[in-house]
Structure 1
Amino acid sequence: MIYPSLDDLMKKVDSPYSLVILAARRARQLNLGGAGLLEEYRSKKAVSQSLEEIDQEKIKYRTKYKKDIK
């Protein structure tokens, strides 16, 4: 995986675990026919597409804790 870089992705989430869960859930949505959030993707694979969406800040999430992430 060259794009997006792991360093860029880690700036968008609070932990590597959160990144994996977020990307996996979004990839499952895409595999089940969910609409893409970007105009154009560099990759054809759902996991890579979900990482591109996270990098472009099209996907946001909340935690159960007081410290909410975008």
Structure 2
Amino acid sequence: MAGNNFGDKAKGMKDKVKGMAKEEMGRVTGNRRKKSEGMVERMQGEAKDEHGNQKKNLNSWEKKRKSD
């Protein structure tokens, strides 16, 4: 099995929210560096979330394959 996708999705959501907050704070204060850091964190969170989705799809495929 590919493993539990919940952990990746939870970490991804945490990073997305943290990144969006940092990005917005940078935008409001005019701090381009903070805004950029937030964008990077948000995108890393999106990647982790997608990784969790792919693990879920793989798990479903493996279960279906074993039952056939």
| TM-score where L is the length of structure 2 | 0.31
Larger radius of gyration: 2
The higher relative CO (CA closer than 8 Å, separation ≥ 6) is in 2
Bigger helix fraction: 2
| TM-score where L is the length of structure 1 | 0.30
